[in-house]
Chains A and B, each alone.
Chain A
Amino acid sequence: MEDLSLHILDIAENSINAGATLIDIVIREQKTQDMLTLEIRDNGTGMDDATVVSTRNPFYTTRTTRRIGLGLPLLEEATRAADGMLEIVSRTGAGTDIRATFRLSHIDRKPLGDMAATIVMLVAGNPDINFTYRHEHESETFTFSTKEIRLKYPGLDFNSPETLSFIRDYIREYTASFS
């Protein structure tokens, strides 16, 4: 994975496969603590303790089409390269919370990448799922929520080119000044 936005896309795909209807993505940049945190929370099926442990093993996957699963091991590798760590909190029936931390200024910390493209992919591929993207950058906070949009515009077609390009431009505009 070239950048963190691709890792986020990948981890969110796990949430979708776990039957989540609500996926929260939080990015927190804390300059004073020199820390970058990514958090992906979902309300999917969750995992028991034994499964949580095995997700860190690249030779574990729930898929039947192949025998290895690299999503979380790759993210863990990326955190370790930048003095960070990966936390996985999950309970059967209670969703999953993935938290990845990085030292913000670490030379090996992957760049954040194109979050607007990641959110557009997620919404386009899964127009019925509610996504929230919150980005805390120093004192500013940007929030984008398809749930709020859905409440305001019931019946809006999220999978239409107009809506998707609006979402892309909207996120780009507000996060342009972020890292």
Chain B
Amino acid sequence: MPKLKIEDLDKIAVQQQRKMNVREGAGRAKITVHMGTCGIAAGARTIMTAFLQEIETNNVTDVIVTTSACAGLCSREPMATVELVGQAPVKYVDLTDEKARKIFKEHIVAGKFVQAYALSIGSERIQ
């Protein structure tokens, strides 16, 4: 197989143009993976890779994955916050690849949060 070239983005750019109209006001759900030093050392990159893979394999177009810094609860990393539009954010702790995939299927796709892995519902307050 020939090596990939930057020009191979041509096809992707055109496809996106077409999709853009469909997902206007995009973002039914937002996943924030906490990527502080503590998060990264505990495996945050694996968690984010799992979410990105799930998005790709399930062909989901209305979920945004983003990163944030340390949330101040280093001992419970890796952590991620899942927020569905119109609902309170849910903070998940002590994540693994499998847990992240389960959260994706049950919370993001099916809309029912995974109580067993959740720390709290709502946003942290920083004084």
Q: Which A residues form the contact surface with B (CB < 8 A)?
A: 1, 6, 9-10, 13, 17, 63-66, 69-71, 74, 114, 117-118, 120-121, 124-126, 148-149, 152-153, 155-157, 159-166, 169-170, 173-174
Contacts and interface: CB of A to CB of B under 8 A. Distances in A.
B118 interface: no
27 contacts: A6-B40, A9-B40, A9-B45, A10-B35, A13-B36, A13-B37, A17-B69, A63-B36, A64-B126, A64-B127, A70-B37, A74-B37, A121-B35, A121-B45, A121-B49, A124-B66, A125-B35, A125-B65, A149-B6, A152-B9, A155-B17, A156-B12, A160-B16, A161-B56, A162-B12, A166-B8, A174-B3
B12 A13 contact: no
A163 B55 CA distance: 12
Given A10-B37, A13-B69, A124-B52, A166 B9 contact: yes
A156 B41 contact: no
B70 interface: yes
Contacts of A117: 45, 49
Interface residues of B, number: 36
Give the interface SS of chain A, mostly helix, strand, loop or mixed. Answer: helix
Interface in B25-66: 33, 35-38, 40-41, 45, 48-49, 52, 55-56, 61, 64-66
7 smallest beta-carbon distances between A and B, as pairs: A125-B67, A65-B72, A161-B56, A71-B37, A162-B12, A153-B13, A170-B4
B21 interface: no
B52 A65 contact: no
B74 interface: yes
Interface of B: 3-4, 6, 8-9, 12-13, 15-17, 20, 33, 35-38, 40-41, 45, 48-49, 52, 55-56, 61, 64-67, 69-72, 74, 126-127
